[in-house]
Amino acid sequence: MSARILDGNQIASAIRQEVSAEAKALAASGLRPGLAVVLVGHNPASEIYVRGKVKSSEEVGLYSEKHTPPENATTEQLLALVNDLNRRDEIDGILVQLPLPPQVDSKRVLLAVDPAKDVDGFHPMNVGYLSTQRPGLVPCTPNGVMEILRRSGIEVAAKEAVVIGRSDIVGKPMAMLLLNANATVTVCHSKTHDLPAVCRRADILVAAIGRAGMITRDFVKLGATVIDVGMNKITDRAEFDRYFKGNEKREAAFAKNGSTLVGDVDPAVVEVASALTPVPGGVGPLTIAMLMSNTVRAAKLRRGAAVAV
């Protein structure tokens, strides 16, 4: 068998179109949802992410602005900026791009964001809303995974789901969303005994550990759905050959760039899974699409508009 490839670009495009229609409808009633992104210093990866977020905001009709405090900004300066954005009614979403420089107390800054504007879904209040199934803002990546499953017609209720990774950003909220959707959920981590055996129980396996190709065929039950949240850059030729030898498209890109991306899942899993998200082009595009969706959701929730839970 060969897995069905779940096209994240296609699903993200559909979500962006829906968000754009919602944004237009809100604008017609005099409300244009607004997103403020805070980018401290000059982290090249962060700059690329932020550029994508601002561009996507404009494409779907959201108001967006970027704040770029210097690399040496203090915790107090960032708290002042966040508090100013909290007060501004035309800003519905605030996103503080991580990582912040080492001299900044990241937890204090993130905690200062108004939970009603916390489009990343990281604030403890939104975490609490998620765990108690109240309307709130949900972290973008796990929320995007749920959209992939839903829009691909993959049943979650009564299925056994295994999440590999327990981060506050992906693993824990992913487990909560699957549990809320009536899956039986196991969360695995570095101390899990016999990880492959636990993973082989999964009807839905979500890998979010940040280790290139760690999840091999031995971890996957025949016919499982495998969601690969990982995005790892590889530059070593031997490692490239292990995953992509003979793949002409990848060979050409590797020769040109000297690197390629691989997920946490070995591409050979395609031979045992029934469905698989690719890297790139799987979960990644959904993260920004769900950020746009969260900004519109925040605009509605803040004003008491009807929003589906």
Q: Which residues are annotated as catalytic?
A: 53, 97, 120
Question: Considering only CA atoms, which of 81, 99, 151, 91 is closest in space to residue 119?
Answer: 91
- The residue type found at 55 is K
**Angle, vertex CA 191, rays to CA 185 and CA 175, nearest 5:** 20
Give CA–CA dist 209/211, Å, rounded.
Answer: 6
Question: Considering only CA atoms, which of 99, 96, 8 is closest in space to residue 53?
Answer: 96
DSSP H helix total and E strand total for the chain: 11, 11
What separation, in Å, do the N-terminal and C-terminal C-alpha atoms of the chain show?
37
Give CA–CA dist 22/167, Å, rounded.
Answer: 31
DSSP-assigned beta bridge partners for residue 275: 4, 225
Q: Which two tokens stand for residue 308?
A: 């589906």
Q: What is the DSSP string of 238-279?
A: HHHHHHHTT-HHHHHHHHHHS-EEE-SB-GGGGGT-SEE--S
Q: Which helix (H) or strand (E) holds 49?
A: helix 44-59
Question: Considering only CA atoms, which of 229, 304, 293 is closest in space to residue 93?
Answer: 293
Question: Considering only CA atoms, which of 12, 294, 304, 284 is closest in space to residue 126?
Answer: 294
Other C-beta atoms closer than 10 Å to the C-beta of 222 total 11
